[in-house]
Structure 1
Amino acid sequence: MATRRIERTQESRRLLVAAAAELFAEKGYRQTSFIDIADRAGISRGSIPWHFGNKLGLLEAVVDDQLQAVLTGFAPPDGERPGDPLDQVMGFIRLPVTRLFIPLLAEAVEVDSPIREHYARLHAALRQGVQAWIPAGALPAETTPEAFAVVLVGAVIGVHAQWRIAPEAVDLDTVYATIRALLPASLGKT
């Protein structure tokens, strides 16, 4: 019986995080209410504070869930070379829920932001994924893997923001091909 209760609790939490992620992306964090989230998840709104404490706790769970999705996407099977992080990241930014990352990024840059650490971990995971993808000797001598990862991740984040703000002005396929063309030949598609 206890196992079934634990399973229901975990499923409720998962449904609430998924509903919140969708709604935060669609309506924005501030405009989304507990009622909206509960209705979308099909769960009592009293479950939200029980699971997360408050709306901010739920937001942190959403960001952590997305961070885990990124980390899982970058984790290759044991002994294998990581997949192409540019393919992974460009696919990831097309997901509707990543629209949420644009307004939250503005909040995360504030020193006292409760989601600052979550974003720092997300960006670190992206940089580590890029660095793991770089074969030894693939970069020009004056370029470190760390600096290259910062530049590539920064470019993709900037492209994502521009595309979300003005999708009619940014062709993601063309931008992806351009980024790919600018990469050193030794970093060609894996």
Structure 2
Amino acid sequence: MATRRAETTQESRRLLIGAATELFGERGYRQTTFEHIAARSGVSRGSIPWHFGNKEGLLAAVIEHATDTVRASFSAVPPGPAGLDRALAEVVDFTRLPSTRLFITLIAEAVEPGSPLHERYADLHRSLREQVQSWLATIELPPGIPAEHLGTILTGTVMGIHQQWRVDPESVDLDKTYATLRTLLSAGLRI
């Protein structure tokens, strides 16, 4: 009986995180209510504080899940120059996920003074940069190009491409844009 209850609890938590991810991406954090999340997930409204404490706890779980998804996709990227094509393919696949709309929507709220999103979003950005920097540490960079700064540039580039594609998908060809980025990186890093 306890096993079934644990499975139901995990399934409810998964459904709530999925619904909140979609709704925060569509409506923003502040405009999304527990009622919206309950209706989308099919899980009772009262379960949300039981699982997460409050809305900020749910936000933390959503961002943690998004961060874990990024880490998992990059953990499959081979080290060294051979990993470039795989890394960019992972980025393209990740960009196309509906849940990545969350990153674009939350940035507007995260930069507002006193926003509960600010520190969590900063942690997400740090995690993304760390993933890129860990891959860059496996290749020989040209002299004078620190992995830390190049990681920030690449993370910002990918986020900017993603934002442009989300705003105007008919004008931004993800595959061709990332192929061009790959060509630039190969030439600049001599890989």
TM-score range, shorter chain: 0.7 to 0.9
TM-score normalised by structure 2 residue count:
0.84
1:87-123: CA deviations, max 9, x gaps?
A: 2222211111111211211222345332233222322
Name the CA shift for 1:187/1:94 in 2 (closer, same or farther; >3 Å): farther
1:21-73: CA deviations, max 9, x gaps?
A: 12222343344332232122221111112212233322221111111111111
TM-score normalised by structure 1 residue count:
0.84
Q: Name the residue aligned to 2:79.
A: 81
Q: Name the residue aligned to 2:172.
A: 170
Residue segments in structure 2 that go unaligned for 5+ positions in a row: none
SS of residue paired to 1:32: coil
Aligned-residue RMSD, C-alpha? 2.3
Name the CA shift for 1:31/1:109 in 2 (closer, same or farther; >3 Å): closer
Letter in 1 for 2:40: R
Residue segments in structure 1 that go unaligned for 5+ positions in a row: none
Q: Name the residue aligned to 2:146.
A: 144
Letter in 1 for 2:48: I
CA distance in 2: counterparts of 1:31 and 1:110, whole angstroms:
15
Q: Name the residue aligned to 1:91.
A: 93
Does the CA-based 8 Å contact 2:19-2:41 persist in structure 1?
Answer: yes
Does the CA-based 8 Å contact 2:111-2:118 persist in structure 1?
Answer: yes
Shift of 1:168: 2.3
Does the CA-based 8 Å contact 1:20-1:62 persist in structure 2?
Answer: yes
CA distance in 1: counterparts of 2:116 and 2:190, whole angstroms:
36
Does the CA-based 8 Å contact 1:90-1:156 persist in structure 2?
Answer: no
Q: Name the residue aligned to 1:23.
A: 23
Q: Name the residue aligned to 1:126.
A: 128
Q: Name the residue aligned to 1:115.
A: 117
Does the CA-based 8 Å contact 2:104-2:163 persist in structure 1?
Answer: yes
Shift of 1:75: 1.9
SS of residue paired to 1:184: helix
Shift of 1:149: 0.8
Does the CA-based 8 Å contact 2:12-2:43 persist in structure 1?
Answer: yes
Name the CA shift for 1:58/1:35 in 2 (closer, same or farther; >3 Å): same
Does the CA-based 8 Å contact 1:92-1:98 persist in structure 2?
Answer: yes
CA distance in 2: counterparts of 1:158 and 1:93, whole angstroms:
11
Name the CA shift for 1:110/1:6 in 2 (closer, same or farther; >3 Å): same
Does the CA-based 8 Å contact 2:24-2:106 persist in structure 1?
Answer: no
CA distance in 1: counterparts of 2:113 and 2:89, whole angstroms:
32
Aligned length: 185
Does the CA-based 8 Å contact 1:19-1:37 persist in structure 2?
Answer: yes
Which structure would you say has the larger RCO, counting Cα contacts within 8 Å and 6 or more residues apart?
Answer: 2
Q: In the alignment, is residue 61 of structure 1 matched against residue 65 of structure 2?
A: no
